[in-house]
Amino acid sequence: MDTVRDSFPFDPFLTSLEVEKGAAKNTCLAYRRDLIHFARFWQETNGHALTVAIAATIRPTHLRAYLGRCLREKLAKTTMQRRIAAIRAWFVYLQRHGLMENNVAKLIATPKTGIRLPRAPSEEETIRLIETPAPGEAEHQIDQPWIAARDAAVMELLYGSGLRISELCGLDHGRLSLQAQEVRVIGKGNKERIVPLSHVSSKTLDYYLEHLAKIIGSPKPESPLFIGQKWPEQQRRLNPRQIQRLVQHRRRWLGLPEKITPHAMRHAFATHLLQAGADLRSIQEMLGHTSLSTTQRYTHLDRVGLARIYDAAHPRAHKTG
């Protein structure tokens, strides 16, 4: 019997995190796993299950011992940071509801991480990936042209608008405006942002919608924009795994590096915009980053490129003496 799950004390907190705070589903799932890990550690080292009442008695020494366990397990520093963050957030919830006097997790220093640079494919690699279907996709162009049109639109949006794969799969017809050349995206924390569409993306989407209409007729605003290929037998959205396979097939067919994933295309979107002289604030808004510091990671990717932009654009770049 798993006593950690049987006496799970985290459900009210996790419900509050999702419903009241609007945390993303993946964040809630990660916090759940992290708190289960901590509860199992507590039970193993103390001989009894972790409860809300016992949580109120936890001291910094207990949390340092937990960090020591994480170090011995050779966990990544980012994982350790997230686990302590999950405990801190749970303690804040308990404190707010009068179930804990002091949040001792605030006293614990987590391991510092260096700048983790996103891996962005080059412009040439990205264009090849977008414009070159794998052999299996050619069959769709003949038998099911709407699928070929859908895949082309997906690839354009991943790079042309820098969408997260979950954001792309969650798009509805009512959130797309080809006339305004923009799409309203629901990102992390259920926050909405408006992302522009390139001319090529708009044309590719228009072509897809023409073919899609032959399959589903006139869609409702709340209908999924991208649907699975078994429609209408299985009326489901296109899911992230299908997009990952699409990119994987093209990447392997072209002999491109394994680092080129759907998320890497989002990095390419940001990096290539920066290299072309776009300002960080605009990129931040399009990516849906809450903090500018997250977007600033891209400035470390191409120092030479940024220097070139400066030399070409700044009025005092060529002043001497």
| Residue 259 is a catalytic residue | no
Same domain, 82 and 217: no
CATH number, domain of 60, equals: 1.10.150.130
Report the C-alpha gap between 299 and 317 in whole angstroms: 19
Best CA proximity match to 131, nearest among 161, 98, 160, 172: 160
Tell me which of 82, 164, 237, 267 is the catalytic residue.
164
Please count the structural domains in the chain. 2
- Residues 306 and 313 sit within 8 Å (Cβ to Cβ): no
What are the per-10-residue average pLDDT scores of the chain (321 residues)? Answer: 55 88 84 93 91 90 88 85 90 91 81 64 92 77 83 94 93 94 89 90 94 88 89 78 94 92 91 84 87 72 52 54 47
Tell me which of 237, 251, 266, 267 is the catalytic residue.
266
Same domain, 41 and 151: no
Task: Report the pLDDT value the prediction gives residue 6, as an integer from 0 to 100.
Answer: 43
Helix, strand, coil % in the chain, rounded to nearest 5: 60, 5, 35
Q: Tokens for 35?
A: 């708190």
17 C-beta neighbours (distance < 10 Å), count: 21
Report the C-alpha gap between 300 and 287 in whole angstroms: 17
| Residue 281 is a catalytic residue | no
Q: Please indicate, yes or no, if residue 320 is contained in any of the structural domains.
A: no
Tell me which of 62, 175, 249, 263 is the catalytic residue.
263
Report the C-alpha gap between 54 and 104 in whole angstroms: 13
At 269 the three-state DSSP class reads: helix
The residues that bridge with 224 in the sheet, in sequence order, are 172
Q: Please indicate, yes or no, if residue 319 is contained in any of the structural domains.
A: no
Q: Please indicate, yes or no, if residue 38 is contained in any of the structural domains.
A: yes
Same domain, 63 and 194: no
Same domain, 48 and 182: no
| Residue 298 is a catalytic residue | yes
Residue ending a domain, among 75, 107, 139, is 107
pTM of the complete model: 0.64
Same domain, 133 and 186: yes
The full length of the chain comes to 321
- The amino acid present at 188, given as its one-letter code, is K
Task: Report the pLDDT value the prediction gives residue 128, as an integer from 0 to 100.
Answer: 93
The residues that bridge with 184 in the sheet, in sequence order, are 194
Q: Please indicate, yes or no, if residue 117 is contained in any of the structural domains.
A: no
Q: Please indicate, yes or no, if residue 167 is contained in any of the structural domains.
A: yes
Same domain, 78 and 164: no
Query: Which residues span the domain enclosing 127?
Result: 123-311
| Residue 48 is a catalytic residue | no
Same domain, 142 and 210: yes
Same domain, 149 and 235: yes
Q: Please indicate, yes or no, if residue 205 is contained in any of the structural domains.
A: yes
Which residues, at least 6 apart from 307, have a Cβ–Cβ distance to it below 8 Å?
Answer: none
Q: What is the DSSP secondary structure assignment for residue 41, as one 8-state letter?
A: H
What's the gap between Cα 103 and its chain centre?
Answer: 29
Same domain, 165 and 299: yes
Q: Please indicate, yes or no, if residue 113 is contained in any of the structural domains.
A: no
What's the gap between Cα 93 and its chain centre?
Answer: 25
Q: Please indicate, yes or no, if residue 318 is contained in any of the structural domains.
A: no
Same domain, 27 and 67: yes
Same domain, 259 and 307: yes
Same domain, 291 and 210: yes
| Residue 128 is a catalytic residue | no
CATH number, domain of 183, equals: 1.10.443.10
Residue ending a domain, among 82, 107, 132, is 107
At 185 the three-state DSSP class reads: strand
- The amino acid present at 23, given as its one-letter code, is A
- The beta-strand segments (E) located in the chain are 176-177, 182-186, 192-196
| Residue 263 is a catalytic residue | yes
Q: What is the DSSP string of 128-163?
A: HHHH---HHHHHHHHH-HHHHHHHHHHHHHHHHS--
What's the gap between Cα 315 and its chain centre?
Answer: 38
